[in-house]
């Protein structure tokens, strides 16, 4: 695997996907604990599941070599920028 592909795969596997799964677990517990989820909670849960699935599919593409180095580099930069914005909030 090329260097940027390795970095992207690790970022997705070790940080991004687990972080989304943690949010999903927390939201699921909130929904289950209240017995009555708001439409916003349900919507957020579905959006997070879709996001996780998209990142999982992206990881498969990276690991199979379907994504070139430039795409990997661009995604790394975008993911790091998103993470920086999230930390600022």
How do residues 16-60 score in pLDDT, each as one tens digit?
A: 999 999 999 999 888 888 777 788 888 999 999 999 999 999 999
Note the pLDDT tens digit of each residue in 3-19.
999 999 999 999 999 99
Q: What's the whole-model pTM score?
A: 0.86
* Residue corresponding to tokens 């997070």: 48
CB 27 within 8 Å of CB 48: yes
Gap between the terminal Cα atoms of the chain: 34
């Amino acid at each position: 695997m090329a260097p940027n592909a390795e970095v992207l795969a690790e970022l997705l596997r070790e940080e991004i996907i687990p972080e989304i799964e943690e949010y999903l677990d927390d939201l699921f517990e909130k929904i289950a604990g209240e017995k009555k989820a708001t439409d916003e909670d349900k919507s957020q849960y579905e959006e997070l599941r879709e996001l996780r699935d998209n990142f999982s599919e992206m990881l498969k593409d990276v690991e199979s070599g379907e994504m070139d180095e430039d795409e990997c580099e661009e995604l790394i930069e975008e993911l790091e920028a998103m993470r920086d914005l999230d930390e600022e909030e």
